[in-house]
Amino acid sequence: MALSEMELGADDAEASPPEDGHTHPARLALGIAVLAAERLRPGAPTSEAFVTGVGLLQQGAAEARTLARRVMGPPTRMASRTVGWASGLPGSERPRRSFSRSRELLNRVVSEAKKRGEATVAAGRADASAFVQASVTDGIAWAQAQAVPQIVDGMLPHLMDDVVPRLIDGVMPEIRTRVLPAVIDDLTHDPRLRDLLMEQSKGAVGEATQHLRATTATADDRVESAFRRRGRNTPPTDRTDSNVIDEANARTNDR
Amino acid sequence: MLPPPVPRNAYAGLISRLAALVIDVALLTVTALAISTLPSLAWEQVFLRPAPGWFTTGIAVAAGLLPLSYFTASWWLSGQTVGDLLFGIAVRHRDGGDVTFPQSVARAAVGLLFAPLWMIGLLGVLWDERRRAWHDRLFRTVVRYTAPAHGREA
């Protein structure tokens, strides 16, 4: 089942997820396994045996998997060396040529299987990364939209009625005895706060003084107006000293 | 709501001048009382006997000269007493300059010696074009608003 599906998935296997959004299940499972292995063994590359095995599996033959194990395993190498040694014996030229062709064919098959396995593993890994990221993003969005508000709404009455009062009752003595004195001490020794209070005090006093001056000046005008109305004198003037001084100087000069 | 702003460079009226005078009188009363009593009490506390005559006479003279020196120094140095400073008015020479020392001394002496006449003369503010009292005419002075802020440019 999985072999043929993986083979289909590996036909376009590259180191990136498919752009059409459809991911092959077998390749996705392979990628997840690779990611899990990387998490378990950080920094360790995917073994060549695994990659070659994947490639051979994609070729669709259980015998090829067995062959790959033999080729990659120590007994296989020992057998290969033994055959090589035997091929060097007198009278073994004909079998030797046959063995050589077999070894070349086997090496070519293994090399192709390795390349194909690497491509499939890379593509599966990319698929798995995208799948995991999408799953996490969807999960967080769902939690933010659905789960967290419901949880908070459900817990809020309990928190407000039971937990928070108990927390406050438990923490208040500590706050009173340790935190507040420290905060007050810091604030009273903070030059910025003192400057701020000084400025505010100056501002309040200045504003009160301005109000007082404006009020008495208004009273000056009203008293003078009332006096002039009663005495039928000329209306009060609101002339600047500069004007009057100019007129006085002019009068002095006339004299 | 704030009343209309203080007119800048305008002449101070009767209410402002009277209010400043009240402040100055109150301040001088308290200060003179302190000067005339506290040193004698301190002498008794330190030496455990009544203050001698020369001492009480000295502090009586100082208390008596306090108003004259206060008004003279205030008008001569800045044109403003404490009351003037509070209400934003100042005594100036009629040509706009500072009051001279002789002007200050004479103005203070006449005001203190003839206080009732001084008070009556203040009514001259009501009909004079430059709001001058009788003593202002006599000593060639004027009293103006000095409020630098919120000032309405008249």
pLDDT at B120: 94
Residues of B (1-20) whose Cβ lies below 8 Å from A:
2-7, 9-16, 19
The rounded mean pLDDT for chain A is 76
- In a domain, residue B153? The reply is no
pLDDT per residue over B3-57, tens digit each?
566 555 689 999 999 999 999 999 999 999 999 889 999 999 999 888 899 999 9
Cβ(B68)–Cβ(B112) below 8 Å: yes
The pLDDT confidence band at residue A251, using thresholds 50, 70 and 90, is very low
Chain B nearest-CA residue for A219: B15
In this complex, do B4 and A217 lie within 8 Å of one another by their Cβ atoms?
A: yes
- Residue B154 inside a domain? The answer is no
Nearest Cα of chain B lies from the Cα of A194 at a distance, in angstroms, of 25
In a domain, B69, yes or no: yes
Q: Interface pTM (ipTM) of the complex?
A: 0.81
% of chain A at pLDDT higher than 70: 68
Neighbour tally for A149: CB within 10 Å: 11
The helices-and-strands tally (H runs, E runs) of chain B is 6, 4
> Which residues are CB-contacts of A131 (< 8 A; sequence separation ≥ 6)?
A23, A28, A31, A32
| Per-residue confidence band for A11, with pLDDT thresholds at 50, 70 and 90 | very low
Contact B32, B63 (CB under 8 A): yes
Instruction: Give the tens place of pLDDT for each residue, B45-101.
Output: 999 888 899 999 999 999 999 999 999 999 999 999 999 999 999 999 989 899 999
User: Do the beta carbons of residue A235 and residue A228 sit within 8 Å?
Assistant: yes
Cβ B147–A221 below 8 Å, yes or no?
Answer: no
pLDDT value of residue B103: 93
In a domain, B19, yes or no: yes
SS3 content of chain B, % helix, strand, coil (to 5): 60, 10, 30
CB nearest B96 (choices: A211, A217, A245): A245
In this prediction, residue A3 carries a pLDDT of 45
Q: What is the pLDDT of residue A13?
A: 44
pLDDT at A49: 82
B100 Cα to chain A: minimum distance (Å)? 18
Whether B120 maps to a domain, the answer reads: yes
Mean pLDDT of A178-205: 89
pLDDT digits (tens, 9 = 90+) for B98-120: 999 999 999 999 999 999 999 99
DSSP-assigned beta bridge partners for residue B8? B153
Q: How does pLDDT run across A111-124, given as a tens digit for each residue? A: 888 888 888 888 88
- Which distant-in-sequence residues (6+ apart) come within 8 Å of B140 by Cβ? B93, B94, B103
B152 band by pLDDT with thresholds 50, 70 and 90: very low
Q: Judge contact between A55 and A117, C-beta under 8 A.
A: yes
pLDDT on residue B72: 96
Residue B149's pLDDT is 44
CA distance A16 to A122: 7
What mean pLDDT comes out for the span A17-36? 73
Contact B142 A218 (CB under 8 A): no
Q: What are the distances in angstroms from CA A41 to CA A4, A34, A50, A123?
A: 29, 10, 15, 20
| pLDDT > 70? residue A216 | yes
Average predicted confidence (pLDDT) for chain B: 88
3 state DSSP class of B15: helix
pTM attached to this predicted model: 0.51
Give Cα A26 to chain centroid, integer Å: 31
Judged by average pLDDT, the poorest of A77-81, A124-128, A227-231 is: A77-81
Number of domains forming the structure of chain B: 1
Of B10, B126, B4, which is closest to residue A226 (Cα–Cα)?
A: B126
A contacts of B88 (beta carbons < 8 Å): 209, 213
Contact across the interface for A241 and B142, Cβ inside 8 Å: yes
Give CB contacts under 8 A, 24+ apart, made by A184-188. Answer: none
**What pLDDT does A113 receive?**
82
Distance from CA of B124 to the nearest CA of A (A): 11
Nearest chain A Cα to B130, which residue? A244
Pure H helices in A143-190: 148-158, 164-174, 180-188
Percent of chain A with pLDDT over 90: 11
Distance from CA of B105 to the nearest CA of A (A): 24
Length of chain B: 154
Is residue A66 predicted with pLDDT exceeding 80? Answer: no
- Structural domain span for residue B82: 9-148
**CB-CB neighbors (< 8 A) of B6 in chain A:** 210, 213-214, 217
Tell me the pLDDT band of A87, cut-offs 50, 70 and 90: low
Cβ distance A244 to B129 less than 8 Å, yes or no, reads yes
B117-to-B17, B33, B110, B134, B138 alpha-carbon distances in Å: 15, 25, 9, 9, 13
Highest mean pLDDT among A71-80, A87-96, B62-71: B62-71
What is the CA angle A8-A51-A47, rounded to 5? 160
